Amino acid sequence: MPSATIRHLTPHPTVPTIIWPRLGLTLDTDGVLLSEVDVLGPPLDGRLSFAGVHEPSALLDYYFGYGERRLMLRIDDDTVEGRLETRYDGGQRSWWLELDE
């Protein structure tokens, strides 16, 4: 009966699995927390879309009340900056962050 030699390979480094959606923190330009958000996935065409906003009134006040658009988003230990955008369509409000180049 033929036999096969088993080769032991060196271990491969593991890559952490990133699970989406992920919790992020929206911060104003002074670093003050506005709301927690569920980020749908990695950036697509320079845009980070939010699946859910935990405090929508805070973002509404920031966007419409203060007329501010600049925002920071913290996910884990990373912080990105961009312009907050929103749209109301079909009875539902969508939020996203247009990332700086």
pLDDT digits (tens, 9 = 90+) for 25-53: 999 999 999 999 999 999 999 999 999 99
Helix (H) or strand (E) holding 58: helix 56-60
Residue 42 domain boundaries: 22-99
Is residue 6, in this structure, part of any structural domain at all?
Answer: no
Residue 86's pLDDT is 96
The SS3 of residue 64 is helix
Is residue 67, in this structure, part of any structural domain at all?
Answer: yes
| Residue 99 φ then ψ, to 5° | -75, 150
Q: Is the pLDDT of residue 76 over 70?
A: yes
Is residue 91, in this structure, part of any structural domain at all?
Answer: yes
**Confidence class for position 1, pLDDT limits 50, 70, 90:** low
Q: Is the pLDDT of residue 7 over 80?
A: no
- The stretch 7-14 carries a mean pLDDT of 72
Distance, CA of 6 to CA of 83 (rounded, Å): 56
As for how many domains the chain has, the answer is 1
Is residue 66, in this structure, part of any structural domain at all?
Answer: yes
